[in-house]
Structure 1
Amino acid sequence: MTRTGERAVKSRLRTPPWVARIEEPDGRVLGAGVLLAPDQVLTAAHVVRPGRTYVVHFVGVPGVPGVAATAREDEHVPQREDAFGDRIGDLALLRLADPLPAEHTTRLYRLASPHGPVSMYGFPAGDDGGRWHGATLVAARGRDNQVQLRPQTPDELAAPGFSGGGVVDHETDEVIGIVLSVDEGPGSVFSYMSPTETILSHLPQVAAWTDGAEAVDPALRTGAPGAARRLDVPFATELASWFRGEGWPVLVTVVPARSGRAWTLTRAITLADRELRTQQNTSAFGHDPPETVPPAGGHDLALDVKGMTATQVMDRIAERLGIRGDPRPERLGALRVPLAAVLVGVDQAAEPDALLGLLDRLAQQGARLLLVFRRRGGRAAQAAESFVQRPLRERWSRLHHEIDRIVDEWGPALDERRDRVAPDPGARHLLDQAEAGVRRTRMLRAWVAHTPEREKEPRRADLLFTFEDAAERRRRRLEQALSVLDARLRRREELLGRITAEWPLCQERATAQGGDRVVEAYRLYELALSLLRQTPCDVDAAETAVRRFVGFCSGTATAEEGPR
C-alpha cells in the first residue's frame, strides 16, 4: 500500500477532534463544521443564522460537553446568485462561547485544481457519531468555483447532515474545503464543495488558519508598486480568452516591466485567481468591457520566474498541486485535471533553456501555459515557434491527412464492402451514420481548403479542435462499420468454402440413393450458391440456404420449400 493510501485509511478509521456537529438547542442536527481556532468553527451559511445560539458537539473529543456558539453578521456569507445565475457564498464562522484546546484544531490547505479521491465527515440522519463518506472531485462549477463531489458508492452521497463538513484530500491528508450542498431531486448523485481559496475570497480572516502556497506571487498582483494603471483592451481580451480555456493552450507574449501591458497582465492574473477575486476588486473593474474580465479559477498558479532554476519552478508547481516527495514532471501527466500556469519573465530565469525544456514536457502532457517574456526576439520568438506555431501547423497538417483518409480511403472502402455484402439489419443505422460522416467530411475538406489563414490563428484554435473531434468520431464510426461488414464477408467466405467442400460428397451420396435426391441436392446447392454470389450478398438468407443444403445432404433434415 502506498503512503498516501495508508494516510487515507488511517484518517477514515478515526474521528478527528476538529469535526463539529452543529445542533439546534433542542438537539436537532443541522450540519457539520471544522474547528479552525479554539473558538472558531467554519461551516456552511445555510446551516446557521446570525444572532441565533446553537450547540456544537465535538464527537472526536470524548468527554467534552456541547458548546454554545453564535454567528456574527459580518462572518456570515449567505448563498446567493451572481449576475450570471451561479450560486456563490454559503460560508459562515461560528464563535464558541467556551474555547477548546488548540491541539484539537486543524488548518485549511490551498490546493490548485482539486482532483482525485477525498473523504468528507458528516452526520446522516440517525447517526449522531457521524461517519466518513468517500468521493471523487470532479470539476469546478460556476464563477465561485464550487467543486462537484461524486460519491464513491451510491450509499455515500452526502446527506444534509454533511453540510459544512470538512473535505480531506487523500494525496495530502489535508482539509481542502467544506461541503456546501447536495443536488436536489430524484437520482441526484453530486454534492458540492467550496475549496479553500474560494473560502478565503469570502472570509479573508480564515487565512490565519490556512496553509499551502498562494497561487499568485506578490509581484504579479494588481496593486503591486511601479505598474502604470492603464488597461490595454486588446491584450486584456486576449488574456481573458486564454483564462477561459479558449484557443491554443499555450500563449506566448512579451510584456515589458512597468508598462501598460504589465498592469493589464497583473489585473488579469488577480481576477483569474480564486482567492484574490473578491467583490471589492471585481467592482473596481465593473465598468471594463466584459470580454476583458477572466473567470475566477482560470489558472492554478502564477509565478515570477526571474532568477529561478527549472528545478525550483517544478517544486513550486508540485507544491501547488499537492505532489509530495516525488515532484517529477511525469507525475503531472497522471493528474485528471490539467495544469494551468502563468510564468512571467521566462527569459530572465536562471536556466531559461532548461526551463523551456521542462515547460515543453508539461505542454505535451496537456498543460495550459501562459509564457511571458520581457524582451522581444531571441527566446520569445523561439518559444512562439516551438510552443505555438510549429505544433499548430502540425495539427492542421494531421487534420488534412485524416480528412483525406476518410474521404479517399475509408469512404471508398465502405462503399466497396457495401456493394459486396448487405449489413445485418441491426447495423444499418451505424453504416448510414458512417456514410453520412464521409459526405460531411467531403464538405469539410472543401471548407478547410478555402479557409482564410486568419481562421488558423492560435486564438481560433477551438475551430481546429472541433474539426479534429469531428474527424475522430467519423473515423471511429467508419472503423466500426468496416469491422461489421468485414465480419459478414468472412462469414460469406466460410459458407462458400463449406458448400464447395460439401457438394462432391453430397453428390456421391445422392447418386447412390438414386431417384430425385440428386435433383433436389443440386437445386439446394444452386440456390445457396446463387445467394452467396449475389451482390450485395444477404448473408443471413444465404446461411439459411446453406443449412438446408447441408442438412439434406447429411440426411438430418428434409428439403424445405424455397425459391426454385
Structure 2
Amino acid sequence: MARIEEQDGQVLGAGVLLAPDRVLTAAHVVRPGLPYVVHFVGVPGVPGVAATVRADEHVPQREDAFGDRIGDLALLRLAQPQPAEHTTRLYRLASPHGPVSMYGFPAGDDGGRWHGATLVAARGRDHQVQLRPQTQGELAAPGFSGGGVVDHETDEVIGIVLSVDDGPNSVFSYMSPTETILSHLPQAAAWSEGAEAVDPTLRPGATGTAGRLDLPFATELASWFRGEGWPVLVTVVPARSGRAWTLTRAVTLADRELRTQQNTSAFSHDPPETVPPAGGHDLALDVRGMTDSQVMDRIAERLGIRGDPRPERLGALRVPLAAVLVGVDQAAEPDALLGLLERLAQQGARLLLVFRRRGGRAAQAAESFVRLPLHARWTRLHRELDHIVDELGPALDERRGRVAADPGTRQLLDRAEAGVRRTRMLLAWVAHSPEREREPRRADVLFTFEDAAERRRRRLEEAISLLDERLRRREELLGRVTAEWPLCRERAAARGGDRVMEAYRLYELALSLLRQSPCDVDEAETAVRHFVGFCSGTAPGREGTP
C-alpha cells in the first residue's frame, strides 16, 4: 500500500511494492526525472522514501490507431530498498471476473481506504478492464490511480487502477490486468506469479520451421480469436509445417502478455484480416501426454478456481472460457479428453482443437463438435420460426379479433404483429438459402437469427398474455351482468314505473358491448358499472353494494 507524493506532501496517487526497490504505479501519476516521496501506510514507523522513475520504465498513456487508451504504467525506483517481506506479487488471471477490492487515497484520507468493485469486462486493444463500484460511495477517485486491485476468489493482486471516467456522473474506473502490465513492462515478470497463458512449445521458434504465413489458415484463426463464427474450431496442424508456424504466430499475437510492440511491428505488414486481437484466448496448451484431469487443473489455475476444479464450476463464470488445445489426438487419454471438452463446449466455452493427424479422432471431433450441433441449431431455429408463424401469430390474430388492446399496449401488439411478418420472410430465407450460408464460419448469421427469433417469440407471448388478461376480464364482466340481471329485474318491477325499461336498456347496452368483436373491455366495463349501480340503487356511474 504505497502512497506517492510530491516533495511538498501533495498526494498524487497509489502504488504497489513489487520488489524491495520497485513500486508499480500508473504513468500519469509520475514523470521521469522528477523527485517523489513514497510512504508505505501498511508498515508502521517507516519514514517516507525518496523515489524517481526512469524514462525506460515509464510507459505513458496514449491512444492507438483505433482511439483506444493504452499504456499508462510506470516503475518507481526507491532510493532505499525495503524489506522483501513487505513486497507483493502480480498474479496472472485469465478473463478476470467477479468481486475485487482496490486500495487508494481519496482527498483528505492520507491513510487510505479500501473500495469494493466488480470486474465488468475488458475493453479496447490494451485489454483494460472496467470496474463497477459496489456502492455509489466506492467510485475510485483520482487518489486510487496506481493502487493494487485484489481478486476476492484468489486473494491475489491481479492489476492496478489506471483511471476514472470523466464527468460528474461517471461510474466506471479501469484496471490494467497483470498480463497487460507485463506486455508493457516485461521486467515486471520477475515479480509475477500464476500460470502463463501460452505453453513454451507453442511460442515462436518452438516449431523449428521457417516463418512462412499460411494466409487462408491465418485468416481462419484470426476470425476465431475475434469470437466470430462457430465457437469450436477443429483443425489439423502437423507438428513441423507452415501451418504450425502460422498457429504459433496467431497464439502469440492473441495473448495479452506476449503481444508486445516488438512482435506486432514484425507483423505490421501482414494483411489485417490475419491479425487476431490481444486477449483472444485465455490459455493455449500443448496437451501431448496429458490426462483430462491435468488439462482441467491447468484451466482451473488460469481462471483462478482453487480447491474444486470441476467442469461444472466453469458454468458459473460470467466470462466464458476461450482455450487453444494442441495435440488433442496425442493426449494420454484422447477419448476422455474429448469428453471433458464436450462438457466445456456445452457450457459455452470457445475451443480451438488442434489435431496432428487427419481422419480418426480429428474427423470424429469435427462431426461431434461442429457439424452435428450446428445442424441441430439450424433445425431448432427452423422449428422456432415455424412456431412463431404457424402458432403464435395466428393466436395473436385470434385474440385481437375478440378483444381490443389497451391503448397503452397497442404499440407492443403492433410490434408483435410486425415481428410475425418479418419472421415469415426469415423463414423463407432459412428454408431456401444455399448450404454455404450455413458453414461454421458464418455461424454469426445463425446467432443473429436466433436472437431475433427469441425477441419476437417473447414479444408475442407477452402480447398474447396481455390480451388473455383482457379476455378473462371480459368473461368476468359478462358473468357478472348475466348473474345480476334476474335480481335487478325483480327489484325494478317491485319499484314500478319505468325502472324495468331503464334496467333492461342498461343491461342490453352492457351485454352488446361485451359481445362485440373485438370487445372494447374498458368501454364495456363502464357500461357494466352503470348497470350494476342502477340495479343497486346508487347514483348512475357509481357502483354500490349489490
User: TM-score, structure 1 length as denominator?
Assistant: 0.95
Deviations 1:218-257 (A, max 9, x none): 0001121512321000000000000000000000000011
| Counterpart residue number, 2:45 | 63
Among 292, 310, 319, the residue aligned to 2:274: 292
In structure 2, give the amino acid aligned to 1:526. E
Aligned counterparts of 1:42 and 1:211: Cα–Cα separation in 2: 15
Deviations 1:284-334 (A, max 9, x none): 111110000000000000000000000000000000000000000000000
Aligned counterparts of 1:239 and 1:526: Cα–Cα separation in 2: 74
Among 96, 110, 118, the residue aligned to 1:136: 118
Among 72, 83, 106, the residue aligned to 1:90: 72
How big is the alpha-carbon RMSD for the aligned residues of Structure 1 and Structure 2?
0.8
Aligned counterparts of 1:228 and 1:61: Cα–Cα separation in 2: 53
> Is 1:210 aligned to residue 164 of structure 2?
no
Q: Which range moved further: 448-457 or 233-242? A: 448-457
Aligned counterparts of 2:461 and 2:109: Cα–Cα separation in 1: 53
The 5 A counterparts of 1:385-404 are 385-404=367-386
The 5 A counterparts of 1:117-132 are 117-132=99-114
Q: C-alpha displacement at 1:557, in angstroms?
A: 2.5
SS state at 1:532 partner: helix
Aligned counterparts of 1:455 and 1:23: Cα–Cα separation in 2: 61
Deviations 1:239-282 (A, max 9, x none): 00000000000000000110000000000000000000000000
| Counterpart residue number, 2:246 | 264
> Is 1:27 aligned to residue 9 of structure 2?
yes
> Is 1:232 aligned to residue 232 of structure 2?
no
| Counterpart residue number, 1:457 | 439
Deviations 1:391-411 (A, max 9, x none): 000000010000011111100
Aligned counterparts of 1:205 and 1:107: Cα–Cα separation in 2: 13
Aligned counterparts of 1:93 and 1:558: Cα–Cα separation in 2: 84
Aligned counterparts of 1:157 and 1:452: Cα–Cα separation in 2: 52
| Counterpart residue number, 1:99 | 81
In structure 1, give the amino acid aligned to 2:467. L
Q: Which range moved further: 298-307 or 447-456? A: 447-456
| Counterpart residue number, 2:333 | 351
Among 240, 264, 283, the residue aligned to 1:301: 283
Among 60, 81, 94, the residue aligned to 1:112: 94
| Counterpart residue number, 1:152 | 134
| Counterpart residue number, 1:526 | 508
Q: In the alignment, is the contact (CA less than 8 A) between 1:228 and 1:258 conserved in 2? A: no
| Counterpart residue number, 2:35 | 53
Q: C-alpha displacement at 1:530, in angstroms?
A: 0.4
SS state at 2:106 partner: coil
Among 292, 312, 318, the residue aligned to 1:336: 318
Deviations 1:6-35 (A, max 9, x none): xxxxxxxxxxxxx10000111111000000
In structure 2, give the amino acid aligned to 1:416. E
Aligned counterparts of 1:557 and 1:534: Cα–Cα separation in 2: 27
| Counterpart residue number, 2:357 | 375
Deviations 1:196-220 (A, max 9, x none): 0000000000011000000000000
Question: Percent identity, aligned pairs only?
Answer: 88
Q: C-alpha displacement at 1:556, in angstroms?
A: 2.0
In structure 2, give the amino acid aligned to 1:307. G
Q: C-alpha displacement at 1:558, in angstroms?
A: 3.6
In structure 2, give the amino acid aligned to 1:525. Y
Among 531, 535, 538, the residue aligned to 2:520: 538
Q: C-alpha displacement at 1:505, in angstroms?
A: 0.7
Aligned counterparts of 2:322 and 2:167: Cα–Cα separation in 1: 34
In structure 2, give the amino acid aligned to 1:182. V
Deviations 1:370-407 (A, max 9, x none): 00000111111110011110000000001000001111
Deviations 1:140-179 (A, max 9, x none): 1111100000000111010000000000000000000000
Among 50, 72, 81, the residue aligned to 2:54: 72
Indicate how the Cα distance of structure 1 residues 558 and 294 shifts in structure 2: closer, same or farther if over 3 A, else same: closer
SS state at 1:333 partner: helix
In structure 1, give the amino acid aligned to 2:104. G
Q: In the alignment, is the contact (CA less than 8 A) between 2:207 and 2:240 conserved in 1? A: no
In structure 1, give the amino acid aligned to 2:242. G
Aligned counterparts of 1:526 and 1:316: Cα–Cα separation in 2: 78
Aligned counterparts of 1:155 and 1:57: Cα–Cα separation in 2: 25
SS state at 1:277 partner: coil
> Is 1:501 aligned to residue 501 of structure 2?
no
In structure 2, give the amino acid aligned to 1:46. H
SS state at 2:56 partner: strand
Aligned counterparts of 1:366 and 1:180: Cα–Cα separation in 2: 31
In structure 1, give the amino acid aligned to 2:465. S
Aligned counterparts of 1:503 and 1:462: Cα–Cα separation in 2: 62
The 5 A counterparts of 1:153-232 are 153-232=135-214
Structure 1 unaligned regions, length at least 5: 1-18
> Is 1:283 aligned to residue 265 of structure 2?
yes
Q: In the alignment, is the contact (CA less than 8 A) between 1:305 and 1:344 conserved in 2? A: yes
Q: In the alignment, is the contact (CA less than 8 A) between 1:145 and 1:297 conserved in 2? A: yes
Aligned counterparts of 1:423 and 1:199: Cα–Cα separation in 2: 58
Q: In the alignment, is the contact (CA less than 8 A) between 2:5 and 2:13 conserved in 1? A: yes
Among 403, 428, 435, the residue aligned to 2:417: 435
Among 441, 448, 465, the residue aligned to 2:430: 448
Aligned counterparts of 2:232 and 2:169: Cα–Cα separation in 1: 39
The count of residues paired between Structure 1 and Structure 2 equals 542
